[in-house]
Amino acid sequence: MRDDVRLRLRSRSPVEGLERRRLGPLEVFAQSVSGAAPSAAMAATPAIVAVSAGHGTVWSFVIATVLALLVAGCIARFTRRMAASGGLYSLTAKGLTPAGAYASALASLLGYGLLAAGALVGATLYLQALFDDLWAAGGGRVGAAVVMAVIGLGTGVLVLRGARLSARVVLLAESISITLMLIVFSLLLAGGPAADAAPTEATAMPSPGIGGIVAGVLPALAAFIGFEIATSLGTEVRRPFRSVPRAVGLTAALAGVLYVFAAQVQVFGFSATPGGLAGQAEPVVALAAVKGWGWLPVLLDLGLVMSFVACGLATATALARVLFSLSRDGVAPRAFGRTHRRFRTPHLAVLASVPVTTGVPVVLLAVGVPLPAVLVTVLTLAACGFLLAYLLVCAAAPVFLHRIGELTWPAVAVSAVIVPILLVVLVAFVVTRPLSGALLGGLAVLGAAGYLMLRRRRPEALAGIGVYDETTTADVLFPHRGAA
Amino acid sequence: MTAPIPLSGRQPKAVRSALHVLEEIVSAGPGVTAKEISESLAMPQATTYRILNLLVAEEYLVRLPDLSGFALGRRAARLALPAATTLTTAARAVVDHMRGQTRWGVHVASYAAEQISLVDPDPDHPAPDAGALARFPYAFALGRLLLAEQADWRALVRDVRPFTARTVTSEPELDRTLKAVARDGLARQCGEFREDRGCIAVPIRGPRDGRLVAGIALAGPTARIAEPNEEIIAVLRDHAARLAPLLA
């Protein structure tokens, strides 16, 4: 039976065409960190969490970090064993039915697409704020739309030119961003609590209570979305089985530490203020204003712009790879599976996706929809997509291990804990945001229709969903090879 | 290049287990599963899985497309010493003929198991330092032929250091150099290992599959090697083509 191993091997990888085994560990790590975009969440999320968790805000973040690490653990069960380009759906396909993988693919497309658009909106928003801080001139709507289109164009060009180039830009931008955030928050911590910050409408910080802390986990967990982006670069990483699981795990840990730190600084900063952190619209700016540090928001805005630009690059890279992989599966149009001969990137998938993720926000901006509202809606919907994809991959992990005969009890235990929690989080997320829930419901119906159509028209493509970078004949050492 | 992993040397059991696992895969043949390995070695399952994943991460092992079967990866070839090959009489005659055509040294290296070994160094000329050739292949024409053949040359290069002022050590420049080697089927280095010596090498490929099996090199004074040398390169290529069926 074992003699025909060679017959079972393909001579070419199904994801051939991408630049195989080129990215270094640091470059993949940077992509994942940028996907999570911790800078933006450090500034904005603690105040949102504080609305329900109050003084327990930090604990909500600690719990969310533990959950993110558990998800990272489930993802690592796959990424230590296979290298894929389609991200979570390619992994899910190895454990769940094609329907599960298809749902994961749609959830990932939704998540990455919206996150890419959201990052663009964020970058424009804070660039506007930066100009406002510096020259008191935010520029008009048209100016902002032009800026946004230029950033989108730049993102497209970089992603098209190759994973390596954009990974380096991402690494640089994200390093600057996190450094700036650490400077900002360290200064605030050193400055002590603000005695006379503007009190919010709430008369007192809500008493934490277990319920409050648990409710706070919801937005806190949403701050981690995008941390799994390294999984879509499996094919292109030098030592994928080591670098990808590490990148995802370390990103969860790093983001967790940054969030806990940021939450602690802000809770402490507003500890002397009636109403506390809860309900502060721009807590960092408010704290800086009390201290008379008018220049601090400039650093903050610069860090946020960098972070959003990096996030846009990382998500656009991942989005194109999901489309590419789906095309190689036979599920998405065949053209998306083509790769550029010189740049070794899925150029048609990039050309199909980036104009959409750029064009939609530009049009929304041009017709006068307020950007902050767009950002919140887009990020909420994206979070739902990601949570669904995490839920599916965590459920798939033990099934996958069982299938290949490597199941251990910790794998079962972790999934048994994390899957119900993610399910509750997802349901709570949808229920508490009726608008997003309705939109998601519509998308789910469309997705189901697509699935049924696919099952009728291309059942074999659907059955084989989830291509990955298989071992090929060239990778295996056969007896005759050594004796040349 | 991979950063060396700090090993405290305090896990003798883990090292021993890893070697046992490797040995078991060799004897069971490609396709053996984790469960089978754990049973035949009487090793706890979790330990076996961890060791297997580690060896896969390091690319000594690969998972077969069903993801449950294992086989040796290409990197494992580097654990074995290349079989000491000597040239057949027929091949030696071709090499000697080449030596008759030039005043420079003519050396032949084999690339069996992705390791460079000099199988026929020129007895009348100083041979390249075999140890250095194996460790710093990027500074030698014979080494560059092998590196240019790899998907990622970094896998075969541990550390890059300059030997002379001319040694190419920057990654992008080596990238370009090796791309040119792959394109032209010709490697050249002028004074990159020793100031006064240089060499030109051409690949010897299996006639059936085109696989790189060996290389033949001319070694001479740096200034002369740097010249175009079109005629002698043509002669060298001709001899490489004649050696191909005798070596593959």
Closest Cβ–Cβ partner in A22, A242, A475 for B73: A475
Q: Is the dihedral of CA A410, A230, A318, A120 positive or negative?
A: positive
Q: Residue A93 belongs to a domain with what CATH number?
A: 1.20.1740.10
Looking at the complex, report in whole angstroms how far the Cα of residue B31 sits from the nearest Cα belonging to chain A: 6
| Secondary structure (3-state) at B120 | strand
CB distance A158 to A312 below 8 Å: no
Residue A248 lies inside a defined structural domain of this protein = yes
Residue A280: its pLDDT value, please?
78
Residue A384 lies inside a defined structural domain of this protein = yes
A260-269: buried (b, 16+ CB within 10 Å) or exposed (e) per residue? Answer: bbbbbbbbbb
Is pLDDT of A357 > 70? yes
For residue A369, give the nearest of A148, A135, A150 by alpha carbon: A148
Tokens of B73: 């990866």
CA angle, A403 as apex, A402 and A408 as ends, to 5°?
Answer: 20
Lowest mean pLDDT among A458-462, B98-102, B112-116, B118-122: B112-116
Q: Distance of CA A79 to CAs A224, A247, A248, Å?
A: 19, 11, 10
Q: Is the dihedral of CA A235, A240, A243, A244 positive or negative?
A: positive
Whole-number Å distance between alpha carbons of A85 and A88: 9
Sorted by sequence, the CB contacts under 8 Å of residue A351 that are 6+ apart come out as A156, A160
Residue A376 lies inside a defined structural domain of this protein = yes
Neighboring chain B residues of A246 at a CB cutoff of 8 Å: none
| Binary contact (B46, A478; C-beta < 8 A) | no
Looking at the complex, report in whole angstroms how far the Cα of residue A418 sits from the nearest Cα belonging to chain B: 21
Q: Which amino acid is at A434?
A: P
Count structural domains, chain A. 1
**A22 close contact with B: CB closer than 8 A:** yes
Return mean pLDDT, chain B: 87
Q: Distance of CA A478 to CAs A469, B91, B210, Å?
A: 20, 26, 17
Residue A286: its pLDDT value, please?
84
Residue B159: its pLDDT value, please?
81
Is pLDDT of A397 > 50? yes
Closest Cβ–Cβ partner in B63, B68, B152 for A21: B152
Tokens of A293: 């540090």
Residue A484: its pLDDT value, please?
35
Q: Distance of CA A406 to CAs A45, A69, A398, Å?
A: 39, 21, 9
Whole-number Å distance between alpha carbons of A8 and A342: 31
Residue A6 lies inside a defined structural domain of this protein = no
**A241 close contact with B: CB closer than 8 A:** yes
Domain containing A89 equals: 19-466
- The pLDDT confidence band at residue A4, using thresholds 50, 70 and 90, is low
Residue A12 lies inside a defined structural domain of this protein = no
Burial level of B123, CB count in 10 A (0-12/13-18/19+)? exposed
Residue A281 lies inside a defined structural domain of this protein = yes
Is pLDDT of A392 > 70? yes
Is pLDDT of B83 > 70? no
Is pLDDT of B56 > 90? yes
Residue A3 lies inside a defined structural domain of this protein = no
- The pLDDT confidence band at residue B160, using thresholds 50, 70 and 90, is confident
Residue B2: its pLDDT value, please?
44
| Binary contact (A483, B110; C-beta < 8 A) | no
Residue B206: its pLDDT value, please?
87
CB distance B70 to B30 below 8 Å: yes
Residue A222 lies inside a defined structural domain of this protein = yes
Torsion angle of the four alpha carbons A123, A129, A133, A139, in this order, in degrees rounded to the nearest 10: 100
Which has the higher per-residue pLDDT, A275 or A61?
Answer: A61
Closest Cβ–Cβ partner in A10, A477, A484 for B74: A477
Is pLDDT of B84 > 80? no
- The pLDDT confidence band at residue A6, using thresholds 50, 70 and 90, is low
Domains, chain B: 12-79 (1.10.10.10), 89-247 (3.30.450.40)
Q: Could you give the residue ranges of the DSSP H alpha helices within A234-340?
A: 240-269, 283-291, 296-329
- The pLDDT confidence band at residue A198, using thresholds 50, 70 and 90, is low
Sorted by sequence, the CB contacts under 8 Å of residue B41 that are 6+ apart come out as B17, B20, B21, B24, B48
Measured in Å, how far apart are chain B's first and last C-alpha atoms?
A: 30
pLDDT in tens, A64-119: 999 999 999 999 999 999 999 999 999 999 999 999 999 999 999 999 999 999 99
Tokens of A460: 């074999």
CA angle, A231 as apex, A228 and A236 as ends, to 5°?
Answer: 140
